[in-house]
């Protein structure tokens, strides 16, 4: 029985507002870096995916999972949740945050493989990958927490043993245990909120969307309710205000069963498994490629389909397996993926695999206590160490660029004779493929007249399009028998340095407790002017704030430090006496004065990097006019290590103007600010450098 045949109208409205639209700035494909570590994904975003136009990365499930050593730490232990802590075989929460920030910084978005239909299977207990205890037989998962009341009641499952045995029975498929996995009760408000909290945690970190695992085993109404509780995407991660998260759902529908993909169109896109078969059949017999999208077979329409040639399940013979192309047949696989990327059907996902000898085998290194080896990048750009990296294969990389270039166009000028196929994408691109690598024909390309670079050859072949749109199309390559030209494509691609990263390493984790914190504000002032800072947490972000610094929930406890004994710091020392709060209100009642003049906030002192000048400070490596305050701050009173400040200029401007700080600060301790503010945002426990009334920020560790 379907618990949720009717839903509140507001939920339906929210669900219809763009769950099927990836926020990719027009880019058309993501890659599944299956079982990669977060540190390796961050590097791959910077050195390869960003420069080559990939929209995003689907990452393996980041939540805490069971550790299944008795089975050799298989890949599928990642699909056996223990809690929603971000602690997994791929890395720690901080490494996940760092990866997301670094990928977003180069325009590559993160899509999380979300396992929310169930927790780990019956018969398992112990400690998960993040240290949480659990007992599946008792339905006890304190790391969430979930208890027996949070799992689908037994009387709702019609099967004799509580398992799914009959896929023709919808109630059984959605209310019983999938291969013994403990089925969460999606009709519970508490369960819905916990799943939404998990989504929102990841959204706040900066992810773009979610692939919902085993969605076929969840009621569409439950999914609508859960997704209706999610936040908009994080504007600090570069997403436009009001953007909804992208969702696509694993619904294995190959006909012959009552559950179909169209039941899930209100909650996003669906994984189109029939496309895998169509591609495999078409590469075997080219005359079938013209019908790769067959609405009569129940396939999702283009704007609802997530398409792929293979995935981590069906390349192992599971989950909709059958006639599927994989990396084990490289030539055919490159042809299949290239055709997918040339076609206009669906939103595309490219698979990136590792080699395996059996269908349970975990990633390279997993036999060594369940760890994962780093991905090796060879000098020629290929991968080693057991990693396949199909996304780096030349035709696949180049066809991702082609798909971006022809976005928004439809298939025209279709040509198919024997084992040769060709078509144009509107007036922006032309694609051809020959099964045996020998083709020479004058065809209508639909392109403007001109000379074009053939992408797959890297411009070693140049193609002239005549005034009537025709061109001589030649393929003479038995290994990569693929041809592609497009308007504005030069074919060379970026120069890739395998060692390139945009940051020197992982972002430093938040500091807790009392910690030395320094703030510099660069401002050239006039004689008689002094600079102060006011701050804490904005009252629009933190509730319960008052206008009394001593009791204000938005104020942060501080103790200012001396900058030296020279007379240059006399005013700073006088004004810092009795200053115990970083607050928004000017001097505290107990704060000292200088020659009868009250402070205007927490005092700063003028400093220089010139070692021979008055006001020199070793931490100032920037130049003159860098006003400085050195303090011990209570980091536990900040927002995950972040605080706000705004400068106040006495005998001058007064308050500094509002700033729109860049979302990602530079420096080895930089990172993405946790929320939007009109103030500078710094990190407790580090050296923070700002420009007066400007957007820049640099955050560094103490030397």
Which residues are marked as active site? Answer: 213, 250
Burial of 253 (0-12, 13-18, 19+ CB in 10 A): buried
**H or E element that contains 30:** strand 29-33
Structure tokens at 278: 């169509």
CB atoms within 10 A of CB 369: 9
C-alpha–C-alpha distance, residues 144 and 605, integer Å: 48
Per DSSP, the residues of 523-544 read: ----TT-EEEEEEE--TTTSSS
Kindly write down the DSSP assignment for every residue of 363-394, as one continuous string. Answer: STTTTTTT--PPPEE-TTS-EETTB--GGGSH
Which parts of 549-607 fold into alpha helices (H)? Answer: 570-576
Q: Cα–Cα distance between 590 and 575 in angstroms, integer?
A: 10
CA 553, chain centre distance (Å): 33
Q: Give bridge partners of residue 639 from the DSSP assignment.
A: 642
Q: Which two tokens stand for residue 534?
A: 């006011």
Q: Rounded distance, CA 141 to CA 145, Å? A: 5
Helix or strand (DSSP H, E) at 171: helix 170-175
- Look at residue 496 and give its three-state secondary structure: coil
Checking DSSP bridges between strand 305-307 and strand 269-271, what pairing results, if any?
A: parallel
8-state DSSP, 254: -
The alpha carbons of the chain give a radius of gyration, in whole angstroms, of 29
State how far the Cα of 386 lies from the Cα of 378, in Å rounded to an integer. Answer: 12
Q: Give 609-640 as a 3 state SS string.
A: CCCCCCCECCCCCCCCCEEEEEEEEEHHHCEC
Inter-residue long-range contacts of 317-320, CB under 8 Å, 24+ positions, other chains counted: 317/359, 318/359, 319/250, 319/252, 319/273, 320/252, 320/254, 320/273, 320/276
Tokens of 165: 């045995």
| Whole-number Å distance between alpha carbons of 94 and 105 | 16
Report which of 541, 562, 563, 545 is spatially closest to residue 554, judged by C-alpha positions. 545
The phi, psi pair for 10, rounded to 5°, reads -65, -35
Q: How many residues does the chain have?
A: 703
What's the CA dihedral at 72, 73, 74, 79 to 10 degrees?
Answer: 150
- CA proximity to 61, closest of 263, 250, 307: 250
Helix (H, G, I), strand (E, B) or coil at 418: coil
Give me the phi and psi of 218, to 5 degrees please. -120, 145
């Amino acid at each position: 029985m379907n618990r949720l045949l009717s839903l509140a109208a507001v939920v339906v409205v929210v669900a219809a507002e763009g769950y099927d639209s990836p926020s990719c700035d027009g880019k058309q494909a993501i890659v599944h870096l299956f079982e990669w570590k977060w540190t390796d994904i961050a590097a791959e975003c910077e050195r390869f995916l960003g420069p080559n136009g990939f929209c995003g990365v689907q990452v393996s499930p980041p939540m805490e999972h069971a550790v299944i050593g008795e089975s050799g730490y298989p890949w599928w232990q990642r699909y056996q949740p223990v809690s929603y802590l971000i602690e997994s075989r791929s890395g720690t929460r901080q490494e996940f945050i760092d990866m997301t920030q670094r990928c977003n910084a180069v325009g590559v978005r993160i899509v999380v493989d979300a396992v929310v239909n169930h927790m780990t299977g019956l018969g398992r207990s112990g400690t998960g990958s993040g240290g949480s205890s659990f007992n599946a037989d008792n339905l006890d998962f304190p790391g969430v927490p979930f208890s027996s009341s949070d799992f689908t009641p037994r009387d709702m499952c019609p099967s004799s043993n509580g398992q799914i045995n009959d896929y023709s029975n919808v109630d059984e498929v959605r209310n019983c245990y999938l291969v013994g996995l403990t089925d969460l009760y999606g009709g519970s408000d508490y369960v819905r909120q916990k799943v939404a909290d998990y989504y929102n945690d990841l959204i706040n970190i900066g992810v773009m969307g979610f692939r919902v695992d085993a969605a076929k085993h969840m009621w569409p109404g439950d999914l609508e309710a859960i997704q209706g509780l999610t936040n908009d995407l994080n504007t600090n991660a570069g997403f436009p205000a009001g953007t909804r998260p992208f969702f696509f759902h694993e619904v294995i529908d190959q006909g012959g069963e009552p559950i179909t993909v169209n039941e899930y169109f209100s909650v996003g896109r669906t994984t189109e498994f029939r496309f895998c078969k169509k591609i495999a059949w078409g590469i075997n017999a080219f005359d079938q490629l013209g019908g790769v999208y067959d609405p009569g077979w129940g396939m999702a329409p283009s704007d609802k389909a997530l398409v792929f040639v293979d995935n981590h399940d069906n390349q192992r013979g599971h989950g909709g397996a059958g006639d599927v192309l994989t990396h084990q047949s490289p030539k055919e696989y490159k042809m299949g993926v290239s055709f997918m990327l040339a076609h206009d059907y669906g939103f595309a996902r490219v698979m990136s695999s590792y080699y395996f000898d059996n269908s349970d085998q975990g990633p390279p290194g997993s036999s060594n206590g369940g760890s994962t080896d780093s991905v090796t990048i060879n000098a020629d750009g290929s991968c080693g160490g057991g990693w396949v990296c199909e996304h780096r294969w030349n035709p696949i990389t180049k066809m991702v660029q082609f798909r971006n270039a022809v976005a928004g166009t439809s298939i025209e000028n279709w040509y198919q004779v024997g084992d040769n196929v060709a078509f144009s994408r509107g007036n922006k691109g032309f694609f051809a493929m020959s099964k045996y690598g020998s083709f020479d024909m004058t065809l209508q390309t639909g392109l403007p007249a001109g000379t074009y670079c053939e992408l797959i050859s890297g411009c070693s072949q140049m193609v002239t399009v005549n005034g009537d749109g025709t061109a001589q199309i030649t393929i003479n390559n038995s290994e990569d028998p693929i041809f592609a030209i497009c308007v504005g494509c030069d074919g060379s691609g970026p120069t890739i340095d395998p060692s390139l990263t945009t940051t020197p390493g992982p972002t430093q984790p938040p500091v807790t407790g009392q910690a030395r914190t320094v703030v510099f504000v660069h401002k050239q002032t006039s004689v008689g002017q002094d600079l102060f800072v006011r701050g804490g947490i904005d009252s629009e972000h933190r509730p319960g704030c008052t206008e009394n610094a001593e009791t204000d929930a938005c104020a942060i406890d501080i103790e200012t430090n001396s900058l030296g004994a020279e007379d240059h710091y006399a005013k700073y020392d006088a004004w810092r006496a009795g200053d115990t709060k970083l607050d928004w209100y000017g001097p505290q009642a107990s704060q000292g004065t200088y020659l009868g003049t009250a402070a205007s906030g927490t005092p700063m002192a003028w400093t220089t990097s010139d070692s021979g000048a008055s006001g020199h400070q070793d931490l100032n490596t920037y130049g003159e006019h860098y006003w400085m305050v050195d303090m011990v701050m209570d980091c536990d009173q900040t927002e995950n290590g972040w605080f706000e400040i705004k400068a106040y200029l006495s005998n001058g401007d007064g308050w500094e103007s509002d700033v729109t700080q860049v979302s990602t600060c530079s420096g080895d301790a930089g990172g993405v600010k946790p929320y939007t503010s009109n103030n500078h945002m710094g990190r407790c426990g580090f050296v923070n450098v700002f420009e007066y009334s400007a957007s820049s920020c640099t955050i560094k560790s103490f030397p």
